[in-house]
């Protein structure tokens, strides 16, 4: 039996967000799925998100918003694409068919349209529809959260921030999930470099809800971007028991914790977190966020000269089946790190060739549209670096470095590519590239003063090119 706090038909109507179903159970299950999505936490008592998705279909098989949230979440998870997964493709079709045969509210129709657009890879257009919903219904948390994730995948940092700023005044402290807006807004603020404001908001959110893993995550980012390594380490350790309950985000927060150790050059400590938390959770969940974090962490360690070969091989079991998904270029680049790390040329070729094919006729798929100009050259740069062609790596990445945001993710996640161009420039035989490396390091030092990692690289530059 679902808790009384979950909203039934009447409660949703009172909030001005009516749902087209006569089943109170279906309405409450929709709310239960929404809550778990926003809180990054599968509630065992409810049977987790999966269990609730099954239950909502049973409660009312024709409940359109039940299909919207279930199918939308599978799409937003980016673990499968309608190109590769027929079950997901038919779930999208079913949602659209159900919608066309019912008398829905305009808001519900727009939700269906957005999910359909997202499934076709038209991420920007899907976000536009969610934002249109929020103009009329600023307290529609599903539209807000889907939009938040969509902007994140597009690397649209300002939009991600402003999307939450626009709706904040309409939310009141008594509303369900109110405190979670602070973490979402904080994340948009820090991605647009308002670090102090971001930290303040995230701390307000944590004061209301200490187990808000996304607020914790925002504070972790602030310390990362300001190179406040000791503060970051202390913060993660002192709050660990609060955020580990967020099973969908815990791995990512451990990744942030490990980054502080890599920053300090404490590779053993970083590997300990990788082995005990990141790798273990990634192998168990197979979730894309966990997977790309594992890939990126090994790649960073390898650039720092740490041997991670065996760990790459273990990770390949997770990444290899996704080589031809192409849901996000961001994911593709991370899978490529692993196939290169394993010297698995077959998987590398499959990934690159299938992506090249899709880039030829992109249609409305945003990722395929930017594959030719951004995605494939970045992939090629990873290949060249792996083969020791450092000057070629620099030539490929140099014109793109102000476009890295377009592959999506966060500043902290994309930093792996900024580090790559520095390492390549340092190792290049070309004297101009060596001077360029020093320029990049000066720039990095100005943006993140007192970074031990930057200091190490500056030392290396001096010793290599005296």
Per-residue pLDDT tens digits for 293-337: 999 999 999 999 999 999 999 999 999 999 999 999 999 999 999
Q: Is pLDDT of 1 > 70?
A: no
Specify the pLDDT at position 2.
Answer: 73
> Torsion angle, CA of 77/82/86/87, rounded to 10 degrees?
30
Note whether 270 and 452 are within 8 A (CB). Answer: no
Q: Average pLDDT, stretch 72-92? A: 90
The single-letter DSSP state of residue 22 is: S
Residues 85 and 91 sit within 8 Å (Cβ to Cβ): no
pLDDT at residue number 89: 95
Q: At what angle do helices 411-427 and 213-225 cross, to 10 degrees?
A: 30
pLDDT digits (tens, 9 = 90+) for 44-66: 999 999 999 999 999 999 999 99
Q: Is 4 in a helix, a strand, or coil?
A: coil
Query: How high does pLDDT run on average in the chain?
Result: 97
Buried b (16+ CB within 10 A) or exposed e, 307-320: ebeebbeebbebbb
Q: Is the pLDDT of residue 82 over 90?
A: no
Give percent of the chain above pLDDT 90. Answer: 96
pLDDT (tens digit, 9 = 90+) per residue, 346-388?
999 999 999 999 999 999 999 999 999 999 999 999 999 999 9
Dist. CA 63–CA 232, nearest whole Å: 45
Q: What is the pLDDT of residue 425?
A: 98
DSSP 8-state secondary structure symbol assigned to residue 226: T
d(CA 233, CA 239): 10
CA–CA dist 20, 18 (Å, integer): 7
pLDDT of residue 79: 74
346's enclosing H/E stretch is helix 345-360
pLDDT tens digits for 135-152? 999 999 999 999 999 999
Token output for 215: 């607020």
Please state the domain extents for the chain. 1-175, 179-243
Binned at pLDDT 50, 70 and 90, residue 127 comes out as: very high
Distance CA 226, CA 103 (A): 52
Confidence of residue 419 (pLDDT cuts 50, 70, 90): very high
Residue 466 predicted with pLDDT over 90: no
Whether the Cβ atoms of residue 251 and residue 282 lie closer than 8 Å to each other: yes
User: In percent, how much of the chain has pLDDT > 70?
Assistant: 99
pLDDT single digits (tens) 277-290 = 999 999 999 999 99
Q: Is residue 3 predicted with pLDDT exceeding 90?
A: no
271-286 burial, b at 16+ Cβ within 10 Å, e below that, comes to: bebbeebbbebbeebe
Q: Are 242 and 68 in contact (CB under 8 A)?
A: no
* pLDDT score recorded for residue 431: 95
Q: What is the mean pLDDT of residues 434-451?
A: 96
Specify the pLDDT at position 31: 98
User: Is the CATH number of domain 179-243 1.25.40?
Assistant: yes
């Amino acid at each position: 039996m679902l808790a009384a706090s979950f909203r039934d038909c009447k409660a949703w109507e009172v909030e001005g967000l009516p749902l087209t179903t006569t089943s109170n159970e279906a309405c409450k299950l929709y709310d239960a799925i929404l809550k778990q999505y926003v809180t990054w936490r599968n509630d065992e008592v409810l049977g987790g998100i999966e269990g609730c998705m099954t239950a909502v279909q049973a409660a009312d098989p024709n409940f359109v918003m039940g299909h919207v949230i279930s199918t939308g979440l599978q799409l937003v998870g980016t673990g499968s694409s309608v190109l590769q997964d027929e079950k997901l493709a038919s779930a999208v079709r079913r949602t659209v068919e159900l919608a066309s045969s019912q008398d829905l509210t305009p808001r519900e129709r727009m939700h269906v349209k957005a999910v359909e657009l997202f499934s076709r890879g038209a991420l920007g257009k899907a976000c536009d529809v969610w934002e249109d919903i929020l103009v009329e219904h600023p307290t529609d948390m599903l539209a807000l959260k889907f939009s938040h994730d969509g902007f994140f995948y597009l690397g649209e940092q300002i939009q991600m921030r402003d999307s939450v700023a626009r709706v904040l005044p309409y939310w009141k402290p008594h509303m369900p999930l109110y405190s979670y807006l602070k973490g979402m807004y904080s994340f948009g603020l820090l991605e647009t470099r308002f670090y102090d404001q971001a930290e303040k908001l995230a701390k307000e959110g944590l004061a209301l809800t200490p187990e808000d893993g996304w607020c914790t995550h925002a504070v972790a980012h602030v310390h990362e971007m300001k190179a406040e390594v000791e503060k970051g380490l202390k913060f993660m350790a002192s709050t660990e028991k609060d955020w580990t309950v967020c099973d969908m985000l815990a791995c990512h927060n451990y990744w942030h914790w490990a980054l502080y150790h890599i920053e300090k050059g404490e590779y053993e400590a970083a590997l300990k977190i990788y082995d005990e938390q990141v790798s273990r959770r990634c192998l168990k969940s197979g979730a894309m966020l966990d997977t790309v974090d594992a890939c990126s962490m090994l790649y960073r360690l390898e650039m720092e000269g740490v041997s991670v070969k065996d760990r790459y091989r273990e990770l390949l079991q997770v990444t290899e089946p996704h080589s031809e998904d192409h849901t996000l270029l961001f994911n593709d680049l991370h899978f490529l790190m692993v196939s290169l790390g394993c010297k698995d040329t077959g998987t590398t070729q499959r990934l690159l060739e299938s992506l090249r094919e899709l880039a030829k006729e992109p249609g409305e798929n945003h990722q395929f549209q930017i594959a030719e100009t951004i995605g494939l050259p970045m992939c090629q740069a990873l290949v060249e670096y792996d083969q020791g062609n450092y000057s070629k790596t620099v030539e490929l990445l140099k014109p793109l470095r102000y476009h890295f945001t377009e592959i999506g993710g966060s500043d902290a996640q994309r930093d792996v590519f900024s580090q790559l161009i520095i390492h390549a420039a340092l190792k290049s035989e070309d004297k101009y590239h060596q001077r360029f490396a020093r320029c990049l390091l000066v720039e990095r030092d100005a943006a993140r003063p007192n970074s031990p990692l930057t200091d190490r690289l500056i030392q290396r530059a001096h010793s290599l090119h005296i």
